[in-house]
Amino acid sequence: MDIQKILAARTIREFKEEAIPEEDWQDLLTVAQQAVSSQGRQLWRLLQLDDAGLRQKIALHAPGMTRQLATADKFIFFIAKKGIERDEHIDRLAGAIGIFTEEGLDGWLARQTFIPLGQMLLAAGQIGIQACAMEGFDRFKIEALLIKQDLLQADEQLVVAAAFGYQEEAAKGEKVRKSLGDLFTKY
Ligand SMILES: Cc1cc2nc3c(=O)[nH]c(=O)nc-3n(C[C@H](O)[C@H](O)[C@H](O)COP(=O)(O)O)c2cc1C
């Protein structure tokens, strides 16, 4: 692991017309596939959108990701299940951490997708691929669109999107982060 690459990585919103080598992309997908999940359930999947026409339709409901939809070589949605049946394992977890009272079961399912997302972002930086995570979309309108296209099921929810490719130009401005002291406490 190259820590300097991790520390230097920036969010990129506009990509040049250059394809990610298939082998690299398969590696990134495998990183997601290998990610940990609560109870090992992996109740999520990825939807890759290559079709330019569909990307344009989605962009109409996604003000926060229009440039990424237009330019990224790879564009994926992280999709989680929703409305799953409770069972004894979930009830045990719910009893331990209160997932029903705090955020509901669908929130727990959605939260799981941020693990493969984070790992893909990290891995992409390692192999010189730039990325952007995105929540700037109208979830319900795009869900309806994808259901009509038979790309999403009624028991699934769109959680977050990610774009991958090679940057058109470097991120502008300084990288701004809170200090480690603000984010880390030891007792
Ligand atoms: C969960 C999540 C959602 C995000 N949503 C969007 C988005 O909808 N559109 C966008 O342009 N950037 C989005 N971003 C990118 C962040 O604004 C960006 O990663 C952050 O400002 C740090 O930028 P930097 O790495 O260049 O410093 C999102 C990032 C995360 C982690």
Pocket of ligand 1 (CB under 6 A): 10-11, 13, 64-65, 132-136, 160, 171, 175
Q: Which domain holds residue 85?
A: 3-183
Chain position carrying tokens 């692991």: 1
pTM score above 0.75:
yes
> How many C-beta neighbours within 10 Å does residue 183 have?
8
Based on the structure, what is the number of domains in the chain? 1
161: nearest Cα among 40, 72, 39, 41? 72
Q: pLDDT tens digit string along 70-97?
A: 999 999 999 999 998 888 888 887 776 6
> How many C-beta neighbours within 10 Å does residue 29 have?
16
Q: What is the CATH classification number for the domain harbouring 88?
A: 3.40.109.10
pLDDT at 59 exceeding the cut of 80: yes
Q: Which atom of ligand 1 is nearest to the CA of 12?
A: 26
